[in-house]
Amino acid sequence: MPMADNLIKRRITNINPACSFCNNHTETLSHLFRDCEFSQRIWSASLGIVATQGDHLSIQDWIRNFLNLFRKKKQKEERKIESDFISTLWGIWIHRNEIIFNKAKKNPSRILDIISDSNRRLHRINNKQSEFREHVKGDAKTISSKPMEWSSGTKSTTTMQILEVDGAWKNRKGDQWRAAIAWKNKNEDQGEESAARIFANSPVQTEAYAVLKALQDMEWKCSDITIRTDNLEVVQALKNRGRTNKNIDPIIADIKRIARSFHFVSCIKVGREGVKLAHNLATKARKGEI
């Protein structure tokens, strides 16, 4: 469960301290997940839980108590309630983010959709299917018309955020800041972009850092994301667990780790035109123009 501290550490700013559901109270974790009247209606609708019961507990203990209760159940059907509970927490959290970051309107039925979506996913895991099974969509070697893509997780019903990323790298002696990375959000309602100078030893390492940075910046802000890159090597490295490239292996591992914070992550190889905006940003950043 992401903690408020975490958000502060990640320096996600511009967060309205008021609860995005009721606008009436400071948003603490206990308010958001339990004490807010809006969340209480969600608990009642999804699980028939009266959230005010146990409201003297810290939110951590409150959650722990419920989970302990569910885990005692022996029947498979009864244990289903455990994933319903986790999905409800997830639904509240994601919808809160949709309101804050995507300017969505508060909508209880939207949360219930997220919950049932998450439930389907959790039940699949319970059926011994790996949650983050890597899908290989089309073998680029044999079907050249299909783009090279690596993905993790399963798509939910939330809006797919599409980011293009690019790295700019130049080998020049004495130039410590020889590289820069950038990403740009392609969704119409989002003008977000980011660029930063970094130290990297090669174009492929620069690009891998660009993918990682985009995911780090979007963590907790959305649940489904597609990253467009023009670098085939990075997508191949993500797809091939066996092959190693010392230059980028640790970065690839970091990308896969952070991908687990999302419902769905896809990294797709596109042509240079497809990352033009990010390319311009990265080039400017490398030259120190922004």
CB of 61 to Zn ion, least distance (A): 20
Which of 29, 36, 42, 140 binds Zn ion (CB under 5 A)? It is 36
Name which of 25 and 137 has its Cβ closer to Zn ion: 25
Distance CA 58, CA 35 (A): 11
Q: How many angstroms separate the Cα of 248 from the Cα of each of 104, 253, 266?
A: 37, 9, 18
- Single-letter residue type at 111: I
Q: How many residues bind Zn ion (CB under 5 A)?
A: 5
CB of 19 to Zn ion, least distance (A): 3
CB of 38 to Zn ion, least distance (A): 6
Is 19 an interacting residue with respect to Zn ion (CB under 5 A)? yes
CB of 12 to Zn ion, least distance (A): 19
As beta bridge partners, residue 168 has 180
Distance CA 227, CA 189 (A): 17
Is 92 an interacting residue with respect to Zn ion (CB under 5 A)? no
Is 59 an interacting residue with respect to Zn ion (CB under 5 A)? no
DSSP conformation letters of 67-127: HHHHHT--SHHHHHHHHHHHHHHHHHHHHHHHHHHS-PPP-HHHHHHHHHHHHHHHHHHHT
Is 33 an interacting residue with respect to Zn ion (CB under 5 A)? no
Among 25-33, 160-168, 243-251, 262-270, which window interacts with Zn ion (CB under 5 A)? 25-33
CB of 36 to Zn ion, least distance (A): 3
Is 22 an interacting residue with respect to Zn ion (CB under 5 A)? yes
As beta bridge partners, residue 185 has 163
Name which of 22 and 277 has its Cβ closer to Zn ion: 22
- Single-letter residue type at 159: T
Q: Which residues bind Zn ion (CB under 5 A)?
A: 19, 21-22, 25, 36
